[in-house]
Amino acid sequence: MKTLTRKPGGVTPTISPQKDPAPAWENPLIPNRRLRELYTAMVELRLLEKHRHPRRSSVGAEACRVSTALSLLPGDLASEATLSPATAFLRGARLSHLASATGQLPAVKDTAARLNLSIGAALASPGKGKLVLAYVQPGELALREWKPILRLAATLNAPILIVVLPAIAKSPGQLSLVSSTCGTPGIPVDAADAVALYRVVQESMLRIRAGGGPVLMECIPFQPTGQKSLPADPILNMRESLLNRKLATESWFTSVQSRFEARLVTAGM
C-alpha cells in the first residue's frame, strides 16, 4: 500500500507492506488516498496532543486543524496565540524538532493585535500566491471587536484565511454573517466533517492565492441527536465514512494508531 507522509508543501508517498483497498470509484476532487491521509493526520494529531497533555481533551478540533494545515505551502505563514507544535507537526516537522519549527508568526496573546499583525504579514509576504493562516479560539473577541479587523482585511484585500476553531456557542454562524457584512466572506462549516472542511479550505485558499482577498472560516461543532454536551467526533465520523465506502479496513485503522505510537516512543516523547 502507498501511504502518505507529510512534508512542507505536500505529501510524499512511501511504501508500506499493507494492502490498499481498491475501490471501483473515487471523487476526483478528493482522491481516496487523500481521504485516508486526512484520517491518519487526525488520529496522529490526537495521539500527539494526548501524549503532550494527558489531562486535556482536544477532541473536536482535529478536522479543522488538519484540513487547513495540510493545505499550506512553503512560504505560507501560520499565526496562533502561542507557538503550536500541532501546526508544526502537520506541516511536516519531525517529532523531535516541533519546538524549533519555522513558518509561524510571533506569538501574541492579544487577539486583535495578533490578527492585525497577521494582516500586515500577509500583505508584506514576498511571492505571489502566499498567504497567512490565522487560528483564533472561539470567544476571544466580541463581535464588535471583530468588525474593524474584518473591514481592514477586506479593504486591503489581504491574503489571509482566518479559522475560528470549534466550541459550543449560543449563536453558531453569527460571526460568519458579521464577517460577510464587513466584506470578508464568512463560511460556517461543520467542525466534525473533515471532507467538507477540506473542500472549503481548498476553495478558499485558491481564491486567496489568486488575489481574491481574505476569508473567514467558522468551525461549528454540531451536536448529534440525543447528546446535550458532547459534539460529534470528526475521527469517528471519518472512520465510519471510510468503512462504508470500503476505503479502509479494521486492520488498517489499528495500524495507523500503532505505527504512530511507535514513532512517539522512538522520538522519546
Q: Do 86 and 192 fall within a single domain?
A: yes
Predicted TM-score (pTM) of the model is 0.85
Q: Do 197 and 250 fall within a single domain?
A: no
pLDDT per residue as tens digits for the range 154-196: 999 999 999 999 876 667 789 999 999 999 999 999 999 999 9
Higher pLDDT, 223 or 22: 223
Indicate whether 259 belongs to any domain. yes
Indicate whether 79 belongs to any domain. yes
Q: Do 128 and 241 fall within a single domain?
A: no
Q: Do 213 and 258 fall within a single domain?
A: no
Indicate whether 37 belongs to any domain. no
- Beta carbons of 192 and 222 less than 8 angstroms apart: yes
% residues pLDDT > 70 (the chain): 82
Q: Do 95 and 222 fall within a single domain?
A: yes
* Mean local confidence (pLDDT), 1-16: 42
Domain of 206, CATH number, reads 3.40.50.970
Reduced to 3 states (helix: H, G, I; strand: E, B; else coil), residue 120 is: helix
Q: Do 245 and 197 fall within a single domain?
A: no
Q: What is the pLDDT of residue 136?
A: 95
What is the helix (H) or strand (E) element at residue 238, kind and residue range?
Answer: helix 234-244
Q: Do 226 and 244 fall within a single domain?
A: no
Q: What is the pLDDT of residue 194?
A: 95
Q: What is the pLDDT of residue 15?
A: 35
φ, ψ of residue 191 in degrees (nearest 5): -70, -15
Residue 53 has pLDDT above 90, yes or no: no
Q: Do 139 and 210 fall within a single domain?
A: yes
Number of domains in the chain: 2
Q: Do 129 and 256 fall within a single domain?
A: no
Domain that holds residue 190: 61-232
Q: What is the pLDDT of residue 18?
A: 47
pLDDT per residue as tens digits for the range 234-269: 999 999 999 999 999 999 999 999 999 999 888 776
Q: Which amino acid is at 164?
A: V
Pairing of the two strands 215-220 and 132-136: unpaired
Residue 94 has pLDDT above 50, yes or no: yes
Indicate whether 93 belongs to any domain. yes
